[in-house]
């Protein structure tokens, strides 16, 4: 029912978009490789340019994206996010290549999405080249706008399971091979999401080596940098998103040292002011994770106008919920008992963050999950906790007052990367 079957192209272009397309820096590829590699690299570059431009012509660029988050950025969340922002790029949860391969006859459940969710990026994880290739091939008919490879997940369930997630940063040659295999099997551009290091492998030079090798050995031209390292000492994934300090200076060092690549900054960015501050400092894109889920309205409602300079949806939260109710009723129980009202309502719980009535609405929601079987009854039972003034408020001004975390970043940049002149060659 939800299977993707062609989509309407977004043909409106804002001035921002034309600036990006006209900026040759973003689309220049000049790597110092041996001759034979140069020829295939040139062909690859051409193919990649074509892919990148194809996507760029359909949608505004990924100035703002919502991070991949397991069990959070599912189809339900993305439906809600798209009702609030038309232009934000949406990432799926990470899907293991093996899941896609083993569910070959049940792919819609994992890969299908409604056409409104474009621009949308599929994130895959894995460490088996054959499965990565097969998974990418199986995903191809769904027409994701980019395929992203997870090199940042520190979960022991992932990182401890062979070489998977962030551990792959220790093996850039493998990541280069994996990205080549993925790129060969898709019609979409490819990207890598990684951290700035792992355990003691946390110098700026090591990060640059990773970026240089992966981009030299594969057509990867876009990296999303979660700007803290990962610790593989057994701390929880949640602590791994909190304990290692953010080092935005590494991100801005990469922008300086790899002018032919595109970099999206991620980690600890919580407001539209901070998003715009990162873009002003030269980031090609900004990815927001937890804030886009836990405080979805404040984070997403101003993206179209304040980041893209495009009209916002103009919807109030009551209107968003009305549309979401229609979606919810249509998908409830689609897979036997799943999804439940709790599953479908989960993304809504960040919609009234720090508004009057939020605590009561969450308590009512908890109680309603125990017996409500329709979205209509769920809303009837809970929404009276939220004042009309909140439900009917138009999208407001961007809340200001947060400090610019990048104000002195130029003073903190690491020394320039020197090694990239050396040719990367592997036996
Ligand atoms: C619940 C949760 C699940 C996550 N799952 C993934 C994932 O599947 N793939 C991934 O690359 N990162 C995952 N992340 C990390 C986020 O994509 C992001 O890098 C991280 O939260 C830092 O960004 P933030 O500070 O804006 O939240 C997850 C984060 C959270 C909170």
Q: What is the pLDDT of residues 276-285, one digit of tens each?
A: 999 999 999 9
Q: What ranges do the domains of the chain cover?
A: 15-313, 317-391
Residue 158's pLDDT is what?
59
**Among 168-172, 179-183, 233-237, 401-405, the least confident range:** 401-405
At 234, the pLDDT band (50, 70, 90 cuts) reads: confident
* Helix, strand, coil percent values for the chain (each to nearest 5): 50, 10, 40
At 129, the pLDDT band (50, 70, 90 cuts) reads: very high
d(CA 407, CA 426): 40
Q: Residue 84: CB partners within 8 Å, gap ≥ 6? A: 296, 297, 300, 301, 303, 313, 315, 320
d(CA 302, CA 312): 7
Q: Is the pLDDT of residue 1 over 80?
A: no
Atom of ligand 1 nearest to the CA of 292: 26
Catalytic residue among 151, 153, 208, 372: 153
Q: Is the pLDDT of residue 233 over 70?
A: yes
Q: What is the pLDDT of residues 133-153, one digit of tens each?
A: 999 999 999 999 999 999 999
Dig out the tokens for 331 from the structure.
């998908």
15-313, CATH topology level: TIM Barrel (3.20.20)
Residue 156's pLDDT is what?
66
At 132, the pLDDT band (50, 70, 90 cuts) reads: very high
Atom of ligand 1 nearest to the CA of 94: 8
Q: Is the pLDDT of residue 43 over 90?
A: no
pTM higher than 0.85, yes or no?
A: yes
Residue closest via CA to ligand 1's atom 29 equals 69
> Distance of CA 313 to CAs 59, 60, 209, Å?
16, 16, 43
Q: Is the pLDDT of residue 24 over 80?
A: no
Residues β-bridged to residue 191: 148, 222
Tell how far the Cα of 116 is from the centroid of ligand 1, in angstroms.
23
Tell how far the Cα of 150 is from the centroid of ligand 1, in angstroms.
11
Dig out the tokens for 396 from the structure.
């407001």
Residue closest via CA to ligand 1's atom 3 equals 69
- Report percent pLDDT > 90 for the chain: 79
Active site residue 151: no
What would the mean pLDDT of 317-344 be, rounded to a whole number?
97
Residue 41's pLDDT is what?
47
Residue 420's pLDDT is what?
56
Q: What is the pLDDT of residues 287-302, one digit of tens each?
A: 999 999 999 999 999 9
At 6, the pLDDT band (50, 70, 90 cuts) reads: very low
- First CA to last CA distance, the chain: 49
Q: Is the pLDDT of residue 252 over 60?
A: yes
Residue closest via CA to ligand 1's atom 31 equals 290
**Mean pLDDT estimate for the chain:** 87
Atom of ligand 1 nearest to the CA of 226: 19
At 4, the pLDDT band (50, 70, 90 cuts) reads: very low
**Among 38-42, 51-55, 325-329, the least confident range:** 38-42
d(CA 268, CA 248): 10
DSSP 138-195: HHGGG--SEEEEEE----HHHHTSSS-GGGGGG-HHHHHHHHHHHHHT-SS-EEEEE-
Question: What are the two backbone dihedrals, phi and then psi, of residue 64, each rounded to the nearest 5 degrees?
Answer: -130, 130
d(CA 308, CA 302): 9
Tell how far the Cα of 265 is from the centroid of ligand 1, in angstroms.
13
Residue closest via CA to ligand 1's atom 19 equals 226
Residue closest via CA to ligand 1's atom 22 equals 267
- Report percent pLDDT > 70 for the chain: 83
Residue 52's pLDDT is what?
59
Residue 58's pLDDT is what?
85
d(CA 138, CA 204): 36
Tell how far the Cα of 366 is from the centroid of ligand 1, in angstroms.
25
Residue 157's pLDDT is what?
63
Residue 155's pLDDT is what?
77
Atom of ligand 1 nearest to the CA of 268: 25
Name the residue among 186, 5, 321, 247 with its Cα closest to residue 178: 186
Residues within a 6 A CB radius of ligand 1: 67-70, 72, 93-94, 123, 150, 152-153, 193, 226, 241, 266-269, 288-291
Out of 192, 289, 299, 402, give the residue to mutate to test ligand 1, the one with the largest number of ligand atoms within 8 Å of its CB. Answer: 289
Instruction: Give the pairing of strands 262-266 and 222-226.
Output: parallel
What would the mean pLDDT of 167-189 be, rounded to a whole number?
97
Tell how far the Cα of 321 is from the centroid of ligand 1, in angstroms.
25
Residue closest via CA to ligand 1's atom 26 equals 289
Question: What are the two backbone dihedrals, phi and then psi, of residue 306, each rounded to the nearest 5 degrees?
Answer: -85, -20
Q: What is residue 420's DSSP assignment? A: G
Out of 241, 244, 295, 350, give the residue to mutate to test ligand 1, the one with the largest number of ligand atoms within 8 Å of its CB. Answer: 241
**Among 28-32, 110-114, 324-328, the least confident range:** 28-32
Q: Residue 349: CB partners within 8 Å, gap ≥ 6? A: 362, 365
Locus of tokens 């009305």:
322
Residue 373's pLDDT is what?
97
At 413, the pLDDT band (50, 70, 90 cuts) reads: very high
């Amino acid at each position: 029912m939800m299977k993707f079957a062609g989509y309407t192209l977004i043909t409106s272009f804002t001035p921002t978009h034309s600036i990006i397309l006209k900026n040759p820096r973003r689309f220049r590829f000049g790597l110092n490789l041996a001759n034979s590699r140069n020829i295939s690299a040139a062909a690859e570059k051409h193919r990649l340019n074509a892919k990148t431009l194809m996507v760029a012509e359909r949608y505004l660029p990924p100035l703002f994206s919502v991070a991949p988050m397991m069990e959070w950025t599912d189809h339900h969340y993305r439906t809600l996010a798209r009702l609030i922002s038309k232009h934000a790029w949406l990432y799926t949860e990470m899907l293991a290549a093996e899941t896609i391969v083993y569910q070959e006859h049940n792919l819609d459940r994992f890969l299908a999405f409604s056409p409104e969710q474009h621009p949308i990026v599929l994130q895959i994880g894995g460490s088996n080249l054959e499965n990565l290739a097969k998974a990418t091939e199986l995903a191809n008919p769904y027409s994701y706008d980019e395929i992203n490879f997870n090199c940042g997940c520190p979960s022991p369930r992932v990182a401890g399971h062979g070489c998977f997630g962030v551990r792959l940063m220790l093996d850039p040659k493998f990541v280069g091979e994996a990205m080549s295999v993925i790129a060969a099997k898709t019609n979409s551009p490819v990207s890598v999401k990684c951290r700035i290091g792992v355990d003691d492998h946390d110098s700026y030079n090591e990060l640059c080596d990773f970026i240089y090798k992966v981009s030299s050995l594969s057509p990867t031209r876009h990296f999303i940098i979660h700007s803290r390292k990962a610790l593989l000492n057994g701390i929880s994934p949640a602590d791994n998103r909190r304990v290692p300090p953010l080092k935005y200076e590494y991100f801005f060092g990469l922008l300086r040292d790899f002018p032919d690549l595109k970099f999206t900054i991620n980690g600890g960015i919580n407001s539209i002011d901070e998003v715009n501050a990162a873009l002003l400092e030269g980031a090609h894109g900004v990815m927001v994770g937890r804030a886009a889920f836990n405080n979805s309205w404040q984070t997403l409602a101003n993206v179209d106008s304040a980041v893209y300079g495009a009209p916002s949806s103009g919807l109030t939260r009551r209107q968003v919920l009305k549309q979401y109710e229609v979606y919810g009723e249509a998908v409830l129980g689609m897979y036997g008992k799943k999804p439940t009202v709790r599953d479908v309502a989960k993304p809504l719980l960040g919609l009234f963050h720090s508004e009057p009535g939020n605590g009561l609405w969450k308590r009512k929601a908890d109680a309603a999950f125990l017996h409500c079987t329709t979205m209509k009854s769920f809303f009837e039972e809970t929404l009276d906790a939220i004042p009309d003034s909140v439900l009917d408020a138009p999208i407001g001004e961007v809340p200001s007052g947060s400090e610019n975390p990048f104000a002195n970043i130029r003073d903190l940049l690491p020394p320039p990367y020197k090694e990239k002149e050396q040719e990367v060659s592997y036996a």
